[in-house]
Amino acid sequence: MTKKIPQFKTIQEEAEFWDTHDFTDYLDEMKPIQVSYKPQMEQTMSVRVPTSDLLHLRQIAYKKGIGVTTLVRMITLEFLQKQPTQVAT
């Protein structure tokens, strides 16, 4: 017999339940989820652009469903991948 996860009225009530129950008793009710990992960015930089260019970037980002900084990072990475590798000395 499969145990059912009860409905909780508060987060506190749910926390208390899981403190006293083993989630493996409820695996049949669990659903897998997709998790993605984003590496922590190490450095930031500011770039000044004309307002019209920023508005254009925002429009493009919106159409792609991403943030403008993500779009600029993607464009930068694409550009860098096309450049010959250079070793800093």
Please provide the DSSP assignment of 6-24 as one string: PP-SSHHHHHHHHHHS-GG
18-52 pLDDT, tens digit each = 999 998 888 888 888 898 888 888 888 999 999 99
Round the average pLDDT of the chain to a whole number and report it. Answer: 90
Q: What is the CA radius of gyration of the chain?
A: 24
Between residues 66 and 41, which one has the greater pLDDT? 66
Task: Give residue 46's pLDDT.
Answer: 93
Q: Is the pLDDT of residue 1 over 90?
A: no
Residue type, 26: Y
**How far is Cα 27 from Cα 4, in angstroms, rounded to an integer?**
10
Q: How far is 42 from 4, CA to CA, in rounded Å? A: 44
Report d(CA 79, CA 57) in Å as an integer.
16
pTM of the predicted protein model: 0.52
